[in-house]
Amino acid sequence: MSVAPSRRRIQFAWALNDWANSAFATTVLVGFFPIFFKQFWATDLSPTDATLYLGFGNSSASLMVMLMSPWLGAVADRLGAKKRFLGVFTVLGALSTFVLAFIGAGDWELAIVVFVLASVGFFGSLTFNDALLVSVATREESDRVSAWGYGLGYLGGGLLFLVNVMMVLKPEWFGLADKVAATRAAFISVALWWILFSIPLFRHVPETRVPSDAPLGWREIWATVRQIAQHPPVWKFLLAYFLYIDAVGTLAQMAVDFGLNLGFKSDSLIKALLLVQFVSFPAAIGFGYLADRIGTKRAIYLALCVYIGVTCWGYFMQTESQFYQMAAAIGLVQGGVQSLSRSYFSRLIPEGQAGQFFGFYNMLGKFAAVLGPSVVGIVAASTGNPRLSILALIAFFIGGILLLARVREPRAS
C-alpha cells in the first residue's frame, strides 16, 4: 500500500534528524576529536594516559545520559514533550561542539569537559528521536523507516565528514592557515549542520500526550521497571542489546585511537572512517529490506556474526590496508544492527510509553558505553598492548546473540 505524501514528508523529516546529528558522531566523536585530543590538546600526556582519559570522557558522558534518560523519557511521555527535550539536547550538543573550536593548545582538561557536554547533548537527543519512531511509522513500516533514518545519517554525516577531511588535508583550498585551523572550522561546521537539518523534525513530526493525573517522579520510573519485568520479551531484549551494543559502540568510538596506538597515520584512519560512512549508507537501508525477507532477529544475528569475525581480525591486524578492509566490513553491518535494534524494540513496548521505554533502551546503551570504552582504556593502559583489549569484546557479541535467541518474536496486532 502506498504511503500518502504527507506521511512520507513526516517520515523524511524524522529521518533527516539522523542526517543532522550524525555529523557529530562522524566528525567529532569518532573522527577528529580523538586525533586532535592526542596531537593538540594532550601533547603533554603519554599515549596510554591520553587513551585512558579519552575513554573516561566517553564513559562520563554516557553515565550522565544513562542516569537522566528514563526519568526524562517518562516526563516527555506525560507532557507530550519529546520534541522539546530533543530541542534542549540538540542545542546543548551543537553549542558545545561550537565551543570546542576555541579551546587552546594543551588545555586537555577543558577540552574533555566540553567534549563530555557535547556528547551528553548528542546521546541525550537520541532517546527522544528514537521514541518519535512510533509516531511516524506503523509496526510494518518500522524496520524500513528506522533503516532509512540510519542510512540518511550515515550519508549526511559522511558527506560533511568528507568536506571536513578535505579541509584538514588541503586547508589552503578553503582559505585556512593549517590543519589546526581546519579542524576548528570542522567543529563549527558540525554545530551549524546539526541545528539546520534538525529543523524539519520540529516543524513536521507530530507527537502524542498520554493523559494521566499520576504525579511525575522517581516512583514512576520504578513503576516502569516493574512493567518491564512483566514483559519478558522486553527485558530479555534489553539484556541482549546491552551486551552486543556495548561492543558495537566501543569499536566505533575507540577505532581511531586503536589505529593510532598501532602506529597508523591519522590521515589513513580518517579515510577509513569515510569508507565506513559511505558503505553504511546503502547497507543500513538494505538491512531494512533484508529484515522483511528473513526476519529482524536473523538479520541482527548475521550482523553480529560479522562483528565477531571483524574483532578477531582486528587482533591480528598489521597494515593500514587491513584497517581499510576492516572498516568496510564494519560498514556493511553497523547501521543494520543499530536500525533493526531500534525498530525491533519499538514493536515490543506498550503503546503510549515510548519515551519511558526508549529511555531505558538508551540507558542500557549508555551504560554499555560506560563499560566498553573504560574496559578498552584500562586493558590498554595496564598491559601496554592495545590488541588484547579488543578481544574482550567478543564475549559481549556472543552473549548478546544467546540472549536475543530467547526473545519471543512480537506478533502483529
Domains and CATH numbers, the chain: 5-203+218-404 (1.20.1250.20)
Q: How remote is the C-alpha of 53 from its chain's centroid?
A: 20
Q: Which set of grid coordinates corresponds to residue 330?
A: 564494519
Q: How far apart are CA 97 and CA 190, in angstroms?
A: 7
pLDDT tens for the chain, 413 residues long, are 344 448 888 999 999 999 999 999 989 987 889 888 988 998 888 877 887 888 788 778 877 887 787 778 777 877 788 899 999 999 999 999 999 999 998 889 999 999 999 999 998 998 899 889 888 888 788 888 998 988 999 899 989 999 998 999 899 999 999 999 999 999 999 999 999 999 999 999 988 665 555 445 556 667 777 777 778 888 899 989 988 988 888 777 666 666 776 777 777 777 777 788 888 888 888 998 899 889 999 999 999 999 999 888 878 878 888 888 888 888 889 888 989 998 999 888 877 677 778 877 877 766 665 677 677 777 777 777 767 777 878 888 999 999 999 988 656 54
Least Cα distance to 65 among 304, 292, 360, 272 occurs for: 360
What pTM does this model have? 0.78
3-state secondary structure of 138: coil
Q: How remote is the C-alpha of 151 from its chain's centroid?
A: 13
Q: Count of alpha carbons within 13 Å of 66, Cβ hemisphere only?
A: 15
The pLDDT of residue 214: 46
Residue 50 contacts residue 176 (beta carbons within 8 Å): no
Backbone angles phi, psi at 103, to 5 degrees: -85, 135
Q: How remote is the C-alpha of 255 from its chain's centroid?
A: 14
Residue in the structure block whose three cell numbers are 539484556: 239
